[in-house]
Structure 1
Amino acid sequence: MAVEIITGHTGKEHVTAEAAGALHAGVIGTGKYVLAGGNQFAAEIVSNNLIKIKSGELVNQGRHMRIPVNSYEEVTIQNGTQKMYRSDLIVMRYKKDTSLQVESAELVVIKGKASSSIQTSVPSYVNGNILSGATQDDFPLYRVSLSGLTITSVTKLFSVSPTIEMLSKRMDDIGKVSTAKLLTEFQCETNMITKTADGMVSLSVYMHTGAIGGNAGTWWTAGTIPEGYRPNSIVYGTGMVCGDGWLNAVPTAFMISNGLLYLYGQNSAATMLVINMTYVAMGSVVA
């Protein structure tokens, strides 16, 4: 019979690691994930031959592996070679003994090849498909770089997957908009800066002041963009200046640099300024 019930009483032992793994893979994903638990496998260099890996939880193609909270594993790094460089890998290795049908997990160091060049390559590792019956698979956690006898760095090769709670909060944040105003000494009919949760900033300013015309032909500082709303780099845009009643309207250039909004005057008779632009806030990444 092909149909099986897993989370149901059948009168006999029937829940297998394969079934549990398939469920995890269906919910979490079929890839390799470090979860937000414990110390998330934080690495600590104990000596040039010993690295401590702290507690953490991971799921590799549905198989849950862990180092319990308040526990750790130590892995041994073989001695380096004077005046040579080397890169090793620390992996969480999955293995299955097909004769006994026993599965296991352990931290393993895969030693790289020594090189006279500082640009070393990482050693190869096994990339098996557990869901299709592979008997071995390696989940790379860290790259260990050695210079001579010294461990110079331990580089993390994974990211921590967000929990459902974290994802829910991110979804709640989508659509939220924060607002601020251009910090300026000039009178503004409209003065609004908005920022979405993903860092898109929209600047809308309608300034009504006689000082605009007095700065014709020069770059002048119209105001300051509040922190948190500033762009990653210098941005440029165009706006419009005109006289009262929208007379003699001409385009004008402006830029934002180091948090300051600069305008270039084009019309000595101008008393009104209108600018609208959109940019990405500093530190934001828009997909």
Structure 2
Amino acid sequence: MVELVTGHANKAHATAEQAAGLNAGILGLDDYVLDVHDKFKITVVSANKVTIGTGELVMQGRHVSQGTPEDLIVTNGSQGQKRNDLIVCRYAKGSQNIESAKLVVVRGTPTTGTPTDPALNTTSPLDGGTTYDMPLYRIPLDGITIGTPVALFNVLKPMSDVWDSLTQRSTTWRVPYSSDSILLTRIGDICFMGGNVKFNNSGQNNYTKAQEKLPEGYRPVTANTPVAVFGGETTFICYGGANGTVTMLGNPNSAYAGCTGVWRTADPMPAA
């Protein structure tokens, strides 16, 4: 039977199960750490203790919050043996359908060979599971030494980041050795150069600095990034730098030429 959840029913009727179903439908059926607070950052305190920082996560639609850092004890390792432990966020449904979540260290099996991760509870509560583990970190132990923890979770970026990745801007760029301009487009942090030009002059270039510069908002992350590769009856390449400087290689040969280029930028998005 259909039920209106986000509406007044003159009684308590919205359930945690319904909220979890909505979260899973919007965010997906995977498990995510949200991009806020410490994002459950781990700090190794000693040979048998780690601290997990603050954070928010969503596991199978269930929202779990850690408002203060928490210390966890790792069982001491043994000389001459290796072991993988896993730090997980464990969901549990107990008697009277009371649900809870806590951080747990799941101990692996010591071995003199290559250690494997311990088994986890993987039946989703959305499918009726009463215990479910979301892995956060692998803790490798070699003898009595704790190695570098390995993060096992994905960080879910906010909608503002998704919006930025889809935002589009365009401008034109005047080409060296030509009175023509070509289209320069940016979508998210990816820039595209393309078009046709007629070069007015010739001249051999060996990484010669051009007078023209790339506009702010479209400049590549690293130096010597090919931003405009011209083909046709010429071999001529323009390389861009993070400060907008353009260097040239080859000879435009007074030719008609097509251009292409794709690169990544870290510049702020230009205004509309």
Q: Does 1:150 align with 2:142?
A: no
CA deviation after TM superposition for structure 1 residue 107, in Å: 0.6
**One of 224, 230, 253 as aligned partner of 2:235:** 253
Deviations along 1:74-127, whole A, 9 cap, x unmatched? 111111233433222111001111x3211111111112233445x543222111
Q: Does 1:196 align with 2:186?
A: yes
Deviations along 1:215-235, whole A, 9 cap, x unmatched? 4xxx73354686517699779
In structure 2, the gaps of 5 or more residues are 242-246, 267-272
One-letter amino acid matched to 2:92? K
Whole-Å separation in 1 of the counterparts to 2:107 and 2:172: 53
Match of 1:262 in 2: 249
Q: Does 1:221 align with 2:218?
A: no
Answer with 252-261 or 131-140: which moved more.
Answer: 252-261
Equivalenced residue count is 253
Kept after mapping to 2: 8 A contact 1:232/1:281: no
CA deviation after TM superposition for structure 1 residue 134, in Å: 0.7
One-letter amino acid matched to 2:110? A
Kept after mapping to 2: 8 A contact 1:220/1:264: no
* Identity level (%): 30
> What is the root-mean-square deviation of aligned Cα atoms in Å?
3.4
Deviations along 1:166-186, whole A, 9 cap, x unmatched? 333444x2x22366666xxx6
Cα distance 1:104–1:229, how it changes in 2: closer, same or farther (>3 A)? Answer: closer
Match of 2:57 in 1: 58
Kept after mapping to 2: 8 A contact 1:239/1:275: yes
Deviations along 1:238-274, whole A, 9 cap, x unmatched? 624xxxxxxxxxx333456796542268xxxx44463
One-letter amino acid matched to 1:152? G
Answer with 24-33 or 129-138: which moved more.
Answer: 24-33
Q: Does 1:208 align with 2:195?
A: no
**One of 122, 125, 128 as aligned partner of 1:130:** 125
CA deviation after TM superposition for structure 1 residue 136, in Å: 0.9
**One of 237, 254, 257 as aligned partner of 1:274:** 257
**One of 67, 87, 90 as aligned partner of 1:90:** 87
Whole-Å separation in 1 of the counterparts to 2:42 and 2:135: 13
Q: What TM-score do the two structures reach when normalised by structure 2? A: 0.76
Cα distance 1:232–1:149, how it changes in 2: closer, same or farther (>3 A)? Answer: farther
In structure 1, the gaps of 5 or more residues are 241-250
Q: What TM-score do the two structures reach when normalised by structure 1? A: 0.72
Whole-Å separation in 2 of the counterparts to 1:114 and 1:257: 54
Whole-Å separation in 2 of the counterparts to 1:233 and 1:123: 45
Whole-Å separation in 2 of the counterparts to 1:9 and 1:195: 48
SS across alignment from 1:41: coil
Kept after mapping to 2: 8 A contact 1:208/1:273: no
One-letter amino acid matched to 1:208? N
SS across alignment from 1:82: coil
**One of 78, 91, 94 as aligned partner of 1:81:** 78
SS across alignment from 1:138: strand
Match of 2:97 in 1: 101
Match of 2:270 in 1: none
